[in-house]
């Protein structure tokens, strides 16, 4: 949706896809002003090739946009720090770096059954000495609470997430950060930012405990 809307507005869009042969990627290839790039972010060679393609096509034009469970949160924190550093480094050079931090939106990527499959795959590649200490009940509880909490914040209107990205591209001086996600997530973010870490830990623990009382759909 985002790529098509930006392309229709006259922007040239580099659309990174984890599978360029998927139905969605094939549909994008038919749209004028969109170049589909094969880019699985877990494969360094594909990232390098995509970067080289963008560099060759831009030829010095355009602007650099830094893209946005524990490892997922770690990667987001790293990207946020990178964007903050780049934004401040190039503050007076006409280059604006910003990030968009959307909440949970219903897409194929956040299908919980698929996420559980990936979780199980990750468990299988753990060293034997680590895996044998993993309690099956705790894993089941983690999957349950993650599903319930995730669904509580899930939003249906993808346009909510797309509009801030379009604003970030269009505005002469974009904000440092856009955070779409609805009123509930906005309140949670606000409380999380002002609460001491110890209080946040207790609240998260209580939310996970209460989530176990909710029946999964």
Domains of the chain with CATH codes: 1-62 (no CATH), 64-217 (3.40.50.720)
Residue 9 pLDDT greater than 50, yes or no:
yes
- Assign 68 a pLDDT band (cuts: 50, 70, 90): very low
Alpha helices (H) along 128-182: 128-131, 136-153, 159-170
Residue 210 pLDDT greater than 60, yes or no:
yes
- For 40-67, what is the mean pLDDT? 69
| 141 and 95 Cβ atoms separated by less than 8 Å | no
Number of H helices, E strands in the chain: 10, 4
Other beta carbons less than 10 A from residue 180's beta carbon: 21
- Assign 59 a pLDDT band (cuts: 50, 70, 90): low
| 164 and 98 Cβ atoms separated by less than 8 Å | no
Q: Residue 58's pLDDT is what?
A: 63
Give the rounded percent of residues in the chain with a pLDDT score beyond 90. Answer: 9
What six digits make up the tokens of 161? 């997430």
Q: Residue 64's pLDDT is what?
A: 29
Residues 76-134: pLDDT tens digits?
788 888 889 999 998 888 888 999 888 888 877 677 787 788 788 878 887 887 778 88
Residue 63 pLDDT greater than 50, yes or no:
no
Q: Which of 189, 207, 201 is nearest to 144 (CA)?
A: 207
Q: Residue 62's pLDDT is what?
A: 35
Secondary structure (DSSP) of 24-52: HHHHHHTSTTEEEEE--TT-HHHHHHHHH
Residue 10 pLDDT greater than 80, yes or no:
no
- Assign 153 a pLDDT band (cuts: 50, 70, 90): confident
CA 7 to chain centre: 21
Classify the phi-psi angles of 23: left when phi > 0, otherwise alpha if psi is within -120 to 50, otherwise beta. alpha
Higher pLDDT, 60 or 21: 21
């Amino acid at each position: 949706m985002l790529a098509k809307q930006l392309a229709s507005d006259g922007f040239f869009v580099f659309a990174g896809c984890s599978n360029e042969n998927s139905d969605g990627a094939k549909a994008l290839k038919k749209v004028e002003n969109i170049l589909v790039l094969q880019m699985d972010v877990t494969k360094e060679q594909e990232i390098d090739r995509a970067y080289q393609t963008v560099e060759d096509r831009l030829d010095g034009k355009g602007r650099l946009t830094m893209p946005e469970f524990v490892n997922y949160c770690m990667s987001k924190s790293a990207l946020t720090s990178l964007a903050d550093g780049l934004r401040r480094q190039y503050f007076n050079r006409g280059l604006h770096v910003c990030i968009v931090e959307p909440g949970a939106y219903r897409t194929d990527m956040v299908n919980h059954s698929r996420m559980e499959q990936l979780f199980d795959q990750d468990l299988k590649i753990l060293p034997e000495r680590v895996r044998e200490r993993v309690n099956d009940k705790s894993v089941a509880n983690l999957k349950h609470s993650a599903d319930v909490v995730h669904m509580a914040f899930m939003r249906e209107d993808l346009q909510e997430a797309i509009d801030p990205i379009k604003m970030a591209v269009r505005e002469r001086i974009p904000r440092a950060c856009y955070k779409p996600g609805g009123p509930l997530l906005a309140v949670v973010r606000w409380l999380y930012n002002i609460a001491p870490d110890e209080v946040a830990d207790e609240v998260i623990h209580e939310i996970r405990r209460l989530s176990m009382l909710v029946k999964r759909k």
